[in-house]
Amino acid sequence: MYDPLTAPGPGQGCDHVASYWQATADTVNDDGILMGEAETDVAVIGAGYTGLSAAYHLAHVHRAGVIVLEANRPGWGCSGRNGGFVTPHISRLSSQEWLTRYGIDGARSLFAAGLDSLNTVRRLIHEADIDCEASPPGFLHVAHHANRLPALESRHQLLREIYDFETEMLSANELRQNWFCGAEAFGALRDPVSFGVHPLKLALGLLQLARQCGARVHSATPVTSWRCRDGRYTIDTPGGKIKARHVLIATNGYSSEKLFPQINGRILPVLSSIIVTRPMTAEEKNETGFVTSDLMVDTRIVRPYYRRLPDNRIMFGCRGALRESAHQDKPITAKLLRFLLTKFPALEDITVDFFWSGWVNVTYDYMPRIHRAAPEPGLVYAMGYNGTGVATSIQAGKWSAALLAGNGDDLPNPLNQELKKFPLPLLRRHGQRAMIAWYRLRDAL
């Protein structure tokens, strides 16, 4: 079982994880295994959202030569495993926490960057005609207990007054009438711009877009070593070698600290797990009133995320096990199903057709980074999306391309800073266990 904190890399040539997304996406060609030597302006390591977006923007906007190296398959990591939530949430921090930490101007800058990220994704889908099952806009932050409503009301007011962003407060009765009927739904804050996608189809659409613009994307080509000499980078792979003037590390939750010492002690890969049920019957859909395609989370700290898919299945995700382990699959599946049934008791006979997990990259301050890694002159890393990264990671590719092309002026603070180091990084897994236990206790109380 793979753990990015201890493994030298994610393997070579592995197929996409067996998921609902993998089962419902068509194959898209890439450039195969890199064989022999090649030279390029920019070598991108990782063919997820960030790497593919960077490749597209470098090739299309900045007219740079680009080669992308992917250890397994494009979209193999969380870009092909996530819940498909395209939101302006640029980090795990709330809009109030941004205000407290960065002041009004800093918070507004980050909020604007989040909206710009969402609009970048929407524009790419439209302009490239990417068939990724984009849903109508709508995101419900559901109060799972009545005592969570005041916090949602406060956030509703804050978004209007500080960020000039209009949301809608919905009562429990309005939810039952127009969105869904279930337990743990005492009201909701509705964001009118977020939308859902088929995440793997989105990744494969970006792959096609990058290659159409001239970027090369090599699958089953892990980086085994790299070095910089006289401002030029040499990157070794099992079948070849690349020489490049610039390098972008875009591996996020699948980053190897053994391979990239610039991020040592600065990331915490955390498993998130997802189930997808069989399609609801007409009777089940009627009993639950589950007609909305809106994205949903609740107000827990360890929060579940869920949505109805176009074929009337329900996707439901939450934090997974501490480490990947085959013997954990059945218990985690059962746990997620029980969690789903607390929200929709009428689905007591529903069964699960798909289960999978993926590594989310959590940072010490819950903020992503797009940073030029000193003292390397041409090395940039972009990562740390904290489980809210569909839009942010694609925008990070755009920002990274600009930074590598010599223009990173529009990248707001603190996103352009170095990743913060975890205290006692060798104990990160123990700290993670303790923090999750504390969060779950707070949720229970």
Beta bridge partners of 295: 139
Q: Is the pLDDT of residue 7 over 90?
A: no
443 band by pLDDT with thresholds 50, 70 and 90: confident
**What's 387's DSSP letter?**
T
pTM of the complete model beyond 0.85: yes
Which pLDDT belongs to residue 301?
87
Q: Is the pLDDT of residue 441 over 90?
A: no
Q: Is the pLDDT of residue 445 over 80?
A: no
The 10s digit of each residue's pLDDT in 327-385 is 889 999 999 999 999 999 999 999 999 999 999 999 999 999 999 987 778 999 999 99
Mean pLDDT to the nearest integer, 238-265 = 95
Contacts of 109 (CB under 8 A, 6+ apart): 102, 412, 413
Helical ranges in 169-281 per DSSP H = 172-178, 199-212
Mean pLDDT to the nearest integer, 409-414 = 86
Mean pLDDT to the nearest integer, 59-72 = 98
The 10s digit of each residue's pLDDT in 320-338 is 887 777 788 999 999 999 9
To the nearest whole percent, how much of the chain has pLDDT over 90? 86
CA distance 360 to 4: 11
Which pLDDT belongs to residue 377?
80
Which pLDDT belongs to residue 435?
84
**What's 13's DSSP letter?**
S
Which pLDDT belongs to residue 1?
73
